[in-house]
Amino acid sequence: MAYTNSKMVVCTKLSPNHSGLRTHSIDRISPHCVVGQVTAESLGNIFSKSSYRASSNYGIDKDGRVGLYVEEKNRSWCTSSSANDQRAVTIECASDTASPYRMNDAVYKTLIKLCTDICRRNGKRKLIWFGDKNKTLNYSPKSDEMIITVHRWFASKSCPGDWLYSRLGDLAKKVTAELSGDDEEDDTEIDKGLRAKDLAAFSNKEVIAKVGPLFTADQKKTGVLASISLAQFILESGYGKSELAQQANNCFGMKKSLSGNTWAGSIWDGKSIYTKKTKEQRSWGTETVTAEFRKYACIEDSIADHSAYLTGARKGSALRYEGLKGCTDYRKAAQIIKSGGYATSTTYVEKLCSIIEQWELMQYDADAAPVEEEKHVTKVPYLIRVSKRIDIKRNASASSATARKCPVGIYTIVAEVNGYGKLKSGAGWVKLSEVQKI
Ligand SMILES: [Zn+2]
């Protein structure tokens, strides 16, 4: 089986402390206690020092976020036992600094999810805790079994601490229950792509980092500008946290049938639906109706169907969003979408553009010049001199509202978009033609 890494990872800091490829396939999981309420980043920094001589495959931080330090294919240096590390996925969990090394709820919940994910990707359907060193080490797991081992069996340590040690039976039971739930699903759908549920614990910034590349890939296939459909995703699914996204991976509110529109190339299977009560705008007010929405196996499918709609929907014989395919100007693309009748909100274009500018989503556009890396791109940050009072705009565009006036002085620019420079203070954007670079 080919080794993969977890999609739950939000921070990757690969450590030099490992032995390269495993010599034994994965059939164990060894959870550890960090002895500190650390962040995924700080744990990664510790393991990044070769002098530290230790590492783990994963870490779960105090907020339940997952770090990757040694890829699953490689043997980490974690359990004081070469034989164990060769076959175990090792996980360092943020904990208190004193016995019983308690872990908080977020950590434990993530540990259940991460163990489930590790089992699933490695073809295991059962996680087993014997609670007995000799029995465990003499046991030959069946091909679908994953076994829990602990550091204290291999070194005179209390790791993973009595708090977690006393819960390992519960952990095994919960993970196995999650895995047996898979039986009810169509096996071919599992792990096909990213599911909105995988984003539930992520911050908005982490969601964008995770889904951004999916939109870049989609643009290369469909010609729909990544920044614009990513902004629609953010606006319409609330960073993937809406009920429709969480329950049906439907990130754009795509209904079962869209009246008056036909288009080719839909990836939707034509039958999976999710029923939800929605408020519909009527001439006399709002009415609550039960509507049927498309249900997708993963976010990638939702993106693909949305792009197929945008590029293929017709109004009579004409394309509803004529000119969108291949359009690389997000403001123009937003206008085409609005003019085609996608949304009724009069401020839809502004909303999309300000989301794009706020998060600098242009970086996900295919062929976008990578920020800082290419020589012809202006290096930021740099200093400017403002010699007369000018406007500070909320967003990088002439039509954006003015946040306030910028007094005369020297300022730092940290990003450039559309001829506007972003002030380091966060106050907003200034027009670069009105200032002097120094
Ligand atoms: Zn340990």
Q: Which residues neighbour 348 within 8 Å (Cβ) at sequence distance 6 or greater?
A: 334, 337, 338, 342
Taking phi over 0 as left and psi of -120 to 50 as alpha, with beta for the rest, 414 belongs to alpha
Say yes or no: 71 and 133 in one domain.
yes
Q: How far is the CA of 198 from the centre of ligand 1 (A)?
A: 27
User: Residue 2 domain-assigned?
Assistant: no
Q: How far, in Å, is the centroid of ligand 1 from the Cα of 258?
A: 55
What's the 33 CA to ligand 1 centre distance in angstroms?
6
Compute the distance from residue 159 Cα to the ligand 1 centre, in Å. Answer: 5
Residues 204 and 176 in one domain: no
For residue 423, the domain's CATH number is 2.30.30.40
121 alpha carbon – ligand 1 mean position (Å): 24
Same domain, 426 and 307: no
Structural domains in the chain (count): 3
The residue among 364, 397, 417 that closes a domain is 364
pLDDT at 192: 66
Distance of alpha carbon 301 from alpha carbon 110, whole angstroms? 26
DSSP labels, 198-213: GGTT--HHHHHHHHHH
**Domain for residue 226, yes or no?**
yes
Which domain-ending residue is among 120, 152, 187?
187
Q: Which pLDDT score, from 0 to 100, does residue 315 have?
A: 83
* Ligand 1 midpoint to CA 78 (Å): 6
Q: How does pLDDT run along the chain (438 residues), one tens digit per residue? A: 689 999 999 999 999 999 999 999 999 999 999 999 999 999 999 999 999 999 999 999 999 999 999 999 999 999 999 999 999 999 999 999 999 999 999 999 999 999 999 999 999 999 999 999 999 999 999 999 999 999 999 999 999 999 999 999 999 999 999 998 765 444 444 456 899 998 988 899 999 999 999 999 999 999 999 999 999 999 999 999 999 999 999 999 998 887 656 677 778 888 889 998 877 777 788 888 888 899 999 999 999 999 999 998 888 888 899 999 999 999 999 999 999 989 888 899 999 999 999 999 999 998 764 443 333 456 778 889 999 999 999 888 888 888 889 988 999 988 888 888 999 888 899 999 999 988
**Ligand 1: distance of its center to the CA of 186 in Å?**
37
Query: Do 215 and 148 share a structural domain?
Result: no
Distance 88 CA to ligand 1 centre (A): 13
139 CA to centre of ligand 1 in angstroms: 22
pLDDT tens figures, 39-79 = 999 999 999 999 999 999 999 999 999 999 999 999 999 99
Are 430 and 420 contacting, i.e. CB atoms less than 8 angstroms apart? yes
Residue 218 located in a structural domain: yes
Place of tokens 């339940």: 64
Distances (CA, A) of 251 to 197, 225, 232, 263: 12, 17, 9, 19
CATH number of the domain that residue 136 is part of: 3.40.80.10
Contact assessment for residue 230 and residue 364, using Cβ atoms and an 8 Å cutoff? yes
Within-domain flag for 375: no
Question: For residue 203, how far is its CA from the centre of ligand 1 (angstroms)?
Answer: 28
What's the CA-to-centroid distance between 32 and ligand 1, angstroms? 4
Range of the domain at 267: 196-364
| Same domain as 236, residue 143 | no
User: Per-residue pLDDT tens for 202-219?
Assistant: 899 999 999 999 999 999
Give CA–CA dist 417/371, Å, rounded.
11
Spacing, Cα 42 to ligand 1 middle (Å): 17
Question: Domain for residue 146, yes or no?
Answer: yes
Check if the beta carbon of residue 246 is closer than 8 Å to that of residue 276. Answer: no
Q: How far is the CA of 122 from the centre of ligand 1 (A)?
A: 23
Q: What radius of gyration, in Å, describes the C-alpha atoms of the chain?
A: 26
Instruction: Write out the two tokens for 42.
Output: 């700080």
Predicted confidence at residue 259, as pLDDT, reads 62
Same domain for 200 and 182, yes or no, is: no
Between the CA of 435 and the centroid of ligand 1 the distance, in Å, is 56
Show which of 187, 214, 243 is a domain's final residue: 187
Q: Contacts for 240-245 with beta carbons within 8 Å, 24 or more apart?
A: 240/196, 240/199, 240/202, 240/207, 240/211, 240/299, 241/196, 241/199, 241/200, 243/276, 244/274, 244/276, 244/293, 245/196, 245/299, 245/302
Q: Give the model's pLDDT for residue 187.
A: 42
Angstrom CA distances, 158 to 2, 98, 164, 417, stand at: 34, 11, 11, 54
- 179 CA distance to ligand 1 middle (Å): 26
**93 shares a domain with 242:** no
Q: Give the distance (Å) from ligand 1 centre to CA of residue 91.
A: 9
Distance 38 CA to ligand 1 centre (A): 15
In a domain, residue 341? The reply is yes
Measured in Å, residue 178 CA sits from the centre of ligand 1 at 26
The whole-angstrom separation of Cα 312 and Cα 306 is 10
If asked whether residues 357 and 399 sit together in one domain, one would say no
Q: What is the pTM of this model?
A: 0.49
In this structure, the answer to whether residues 258 and 354 fall within a common structural domain is yes
| Distance separating alpha carbons of residues 230 and 221, to the nearest angstrom | 15
Give the domain CATH number at 228.
1.10.530.10
Q: Are residues 35 and 147 in the same domain?
A: yes
Residue 262's identity, in one-letter code, is T
The pairing of strands 273-282 and 74-76 is unpaired
Cα 191 to ligand 1 centre (Å): 30
- 222 in any annotated domain: yes
For residue 39, report the distance from its CA to the centre of ligand 1, in Å: 17
Question: What pLDDT score was predicted for residue 182?
Answer: 60
Give ion ligand 1 contacts, CB < 5 A.
Answer: 32, 151, 159
Cis peptide before 381 (omega within 30 of 0): yes
List the one residue out of 129, 126, 131 whose CA is nearest residue 145: 126
Tell me, in angstroms, the distance from the centre of ligand 1 to residue 10's CA. 22
Q: How far is the CA of 162 from the centre of ligand 1 (A)?
A: 12
pLDDT at 373: 36
Q: Do 207 and 165 have their domain in common? A: no
- Indicate whether 372 belongs to any domain: no
Mark whether 70 and 165 lie in a shared domain.
yes
Distance from Cα 200 to the centre of ligand 1, integer Å? 28
